[in-house]
Copies of this chain bind each other. A is one copy, B any other.
Amino acid sequence: QLISERFGRGSRTVDLELETQIELLRETKRKYECVLQLARALTNHFYSLVQTQHALGDAFADLSQKSPELQEEFGYNAETQKLLCKNGETLLGAVNFFVSSINTLVNKTMEDTLMTVKQYETARLEYDAYRTDLEELSMGPRDASTLCRLDAAQSQFQSHKDKYEKLRADVAIKLKFLEENKIKVMHKQLLLFHNAISAYFAGNQQQLEQTLKQFNIKLKTPGAEKPSWLEEQ
């Protein structure tokens, strides 16, 4: 019956500022999900690229040994591909850290706040239902039986009002902390992403490794068959 009240009849309690913030959070989450999806696609394509560069490096090295007349040409190509693989694996470590952090922000931190938002929205709906009940009873004729029902309605109204207000405060606080946390996390991750990508695509191995150190990213088992970053996907 609460739902039917929402269509057309009945007044609705609106906290405009809070609802604007909630809508904004939902939109931000959608946009960050899109970035997350793209960053994962980037990781996958890049991983395939590095694997191919690895195989190509091997093929060139083999041909360099077996083609005296093109030994040098195959040789420098083999070395370039191998160097790119090494740098590529380092970059994969950085991009994977980016993906993992954005994933936590979107699917844990933001999701947690949106769970509270859902509780808040349910509490708002219930509160409005009991409020409407009370208002209707108050406007009706008063006798002993209605007075008793009025008392019960008043008590229901009050307890749901408290619950609603508590959750509204919870949501407001969570939104505030989330906003601070989001800015902190994204500031760090966007800086890392940019610095790692820039260093890699400028061929600056040293700066790339420096960036990983700066952000405390450790490359697990370098050179292992299946890079560790895949496990977290």
List A residues at the B interface (Cβ < 8 Å): 28, 31, 34-35, 38-39, 41-42, 45-46, 48-49, 52-53, 55-56, 59-60, 62-63, 66-67, 69-70, 73-74, 76-77, 80-81, 84, 87, 183, 186-187, 190-191, 193-194, 197-198, 200-203
Contact = CB atoms under 8 A, between A and B. Distances in A.
Contact of A60 (B35, B60, B70, B203): B35
Contacts of A60: 35
Contacts of A186: 70, 73
A56 B39 contact: yes
Contacts of A45: 45, 48-49, 52
A52 B197 CA distance: 14
Given A45-B52, A48-B45, A84-B197, A77 B38 contact: no
Contacts of A52: 38, 41-42, 45
B59 A31 contact: yes
29 contacts: A31-B62, A31-B63, A31-B66, A35-B59, A38-B52, A38-B56, A39-B56, A41-B48, A41-B52, A42-B52, A45-B48, A45-B49, A45-B52, A46-B49, A49-B49, A70-B190, A73-B187, A73-B190, A73-B194, A74-B190, A77-B197, A80-B198, A84-B197, A84-B201, A87-B201, A198-B203, A200-B201, A201-B201, A202-B202
Contacts of A198: 80, 203
Contacts of A49: 42, 45-46, 49
**Which residue, of A81, A87, A190, A203, has the highest number of chain B Cβ atoms within 10 A?**
A190
Contacts of A53: 42
A194 B42 contact: no
Given A49-B46, A197-B80, A56 B35 contact: yes
Contacts of A73: 186-187, 190-191, 194
